[in-house]
Structures are given as structure tokens and as C-alpha cells.
């Protein structure tokens, strides 16, 4: 019997934010967890390794792009396969007006700024983390976020308003220019395609330069022979890894393994518990 079948339905009251949660078994060792937040049903696919019940375990949140899905993110990023010792969470977005596409909001995505959509997705992140902390031993020094496109933008938003919870981030094909002056130094891996016409490459170049200044980074060097990637060491211990691939807005197949490697290298100091 799958270890997820032992999950019990859990009812939680939390000032109208987290009203109830339940778990439905999904394939491929992923459990579909469900929440009701401000009266709206939310869901995510979650991988929970057995050891997470008894030992502090890293957790990685993966946010799909606009028009994507939690299943697509689980298949594309596959953090649960690349890092089976970690908890992996693939949330599902709701219909959201897009800034660059889908202005009518017919497709699922994530809020773009604090206060947007009544902070429904920030509340969702908070509820997911709180729930999983109740199911497993989450290592408070190893909480990570990544995402592609709109999901990468939401990762930057999380950094700006929930940065105290995150050890490192890895936004892909996204811009952080909206958050100038709102971010505190943190290890960051940023992926960009030099032919990206949607989230324009020029915006992402400016983002990388802004991150280097924020983290007080020095000159770049090859990131351990990884193609496309430049490591900018930081005086404050918050390096920037910029990976520039020769393509467009897509997420190259090699990148999730790079993200896992980056996350494994970065945890908050012991004093941050």
C-alpha cells in the first residue's frame, strides 16, 4: 500500500484563509493535496519521501508558467526524481489575466505583485507550507522555490515578500525588475534564453545585473564547466548563477538538474533555524 494512503483528512480553521484540506492519491508517487482558501479550491501535486516523517528534509516549490499545469511542471522539472531525498511541491494556478499574453485571464497562472488577486497565491503558498510542515519534518534552512515564466515571476514575488523563509531561488525565463529595492541578498540561479521574445532577453540581462549588485558579486567564472552558466561569487555568501542558453522562452531539458545542484549547495546558516 502506498505510504500516501495513510494520510488522514484534515480539517483546519485559520481565519478564513485555510478552511479545509484533503489528500487524493495520484500516480507516480505524487499525492494530490487539496485546500480551500477563502472559499476557493486549490490543489498541488506533492512528493513526500518516507524519511521526511522522521528527519528534517529540504522542500522545493515548483510553479508552472502561465497556461501551464501542476502535471506539466512535475513532468518538466521532475524534482522528485532528480532529488528524491527532498519534498517536491507542484502547485496548480488559477485563471489569471496575463501581462504579456491572455489579458482576459482564460488560462491558469499566478499573481504578479503583492496585493494582486487579493494575494490568493501568497496565501496558497503559506497554506501549503504550513500543511506540509504538519505532515513532515521540513528543514527550515532548506526551503526553495523555482518556476518558469509567470512561475519564475511568482518566485521573484515570493523572494520579495516571503524571502525570510527561502534559502535560495531559481527563476527561469522571468524578470525581477518590478522588485528593485524589494529584495534582500539571497543565492539565486537565473535561466534566460538569449532569443526570448516573450520575457525579453534585455529585461533578463537587466535582472541579472541588478541581482549581481544586490548580492555584491564579483567577476564571473565558469560554473564548474556547466555550459551556458556563469557563477558570480558574492562577498556576502549569496552568489548569482546566470545561465544563458541559445534559445527562446523554453526550459531546456538539462536545466532542472542544474537547479537541483544549485539548491543542494545552498542552505541558510544554522543560526537561521
pLDDT tens digits for range 124-171: 999 999 999 999 999 999 999 999 999 999 999 999 999 999 999 999
pLDDT for 108 equals 97
- For 165, the grid coordinates are 523563509
Rounded to whole angstroms, the Cα distance separating 231 from 224 reads: 9
> pLDDT of 165-202, one tens digit each?
999 999 999 999 999 899 999 999 999 999 999 999 99
Q: Which three cell numbers stand for residue 254?
A: 538539462
The answer for 28, left when phi > 0, alpha when psi is -120 to 50, beta otherwise, is: left
pLDDT band at 8 (very low <50, low <70, confident <90, very high): very low
Q: Write down the domain spans for the chain.
A: 3-266
CA–CA dist 3, 201 (Å, integer): 44
- Average pLDDT of the chain? 90
Specify the DSSP class assigned to residue 64.
P
Per-residue model confidence (pLDDT) at position 18: 43
- Tell me the C-alpha to C-alpha distance, in Å, between residue 198 and each of 41, 56, 148, 174: 30, 39, 12, 9
Per DSSP, the three-state class of 75 is helix
Q: How far apart are CA 166 and CA 182, in angstroms?
A: 15
Classify domain 3-266 by CATH architecture: 3-Layer(aba) Sandwich (3.40)
Give percent of the chain with pLDDT exceeding 70. 89
CA 47 – CA 31 distance, rounded (Å) = 6
Quick one: average pLDDT of 253-264? 97
Does residue 2 carry a pLDDT above 50? no
146: its cell numbers: 523555482
- Total residues found in the chain within this entry: 273
What is the distance between the alpha carbons of residues 225 and 152, in angstroms, rounded to a whole number?
Answer: 25
In the prediction, which pLDDT does 227 show? 86
CA distance linking residue 175 with residue 163, whole number of Å? 17
Q: Coil, strand, or helix at residue 120?
A: helix
Amino acid at each position: 500500500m502506498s505510504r500516501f494512503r495513510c494520510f488522514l483528512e484534515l480539517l483546519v480553521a485559520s481565519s478564513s484563509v485555510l478552511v479545509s484540506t484533503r489528500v487524493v492519491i495520484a500516480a507516480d508517487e505524487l499525492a494530490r493535496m487539496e485546500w480551500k482558501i477563502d472559499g476557493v479550491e486549490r490543489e498541488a501535486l506533492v512528493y513526500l519521501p518516507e524519511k521526511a516523517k522522521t528527519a528534517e528534509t529540504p522542500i522545493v516549490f515548483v510553479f508552472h508558467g502561465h497556461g501551464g499545469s501542476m502535471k506539466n511542471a512535475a513532468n518538466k522539472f521532475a524534482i522528485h526524481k532528480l532529488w528524491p531525498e527532498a519534498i517536491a511541491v507542484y502547485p496548480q494556478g488559477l485563471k489569471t489575466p496575463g501581462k504579456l499574453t491572455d489579458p482576459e485571464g482564460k488560462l491558469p497562472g499566478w499573481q504578479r505583485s503583492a496585493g494582486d488577486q487579493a494575494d490568493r497565491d501568497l496565501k496558497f503558498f503559506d497554506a501549503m507550507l504550513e500543511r506540509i510542515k504538519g505532515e513532515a519534518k521540513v528543514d527550515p534552512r532548506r526551503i526553495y522555490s523555482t518556476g518558469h515564466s509567470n512561475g519564475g515571476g511568482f518566485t521573484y514575488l515570493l523572494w520579495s515578500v516571503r524571502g525570510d523563509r527561502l534559502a535560495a531561488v531559481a527563476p527561469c525565463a522571468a524578470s525581477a525588475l518590478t522588485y528593485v529595492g524589494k529584495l534582500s541578498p539571497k543565492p539565486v540561479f537565473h535561466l534566460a534564453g538569449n532569443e526570448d521574445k516573450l520575457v525579453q532577453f534585455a529585461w533578463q540581462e537587466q535582472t541579472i545585473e541588478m541581482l549581481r549588485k544586490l548580492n555584491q558579486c564579483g567577476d564571473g567564472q565558469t560554473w564548474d564547466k556547466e555550459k551556458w552558466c556563469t557563477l558570480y561569487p558574492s562577498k556576502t555568501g549569496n552568489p548569482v548563477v546566470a545561465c544563458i542558453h541559445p534559445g527562446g522562452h523554453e526550459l531546456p531539458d538539462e536545466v532542472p538538474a542544474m537547479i537541483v545542484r544549485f539548491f543542494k549547495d545552498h542552505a541558510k546558516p544554522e543560526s537561521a533555524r
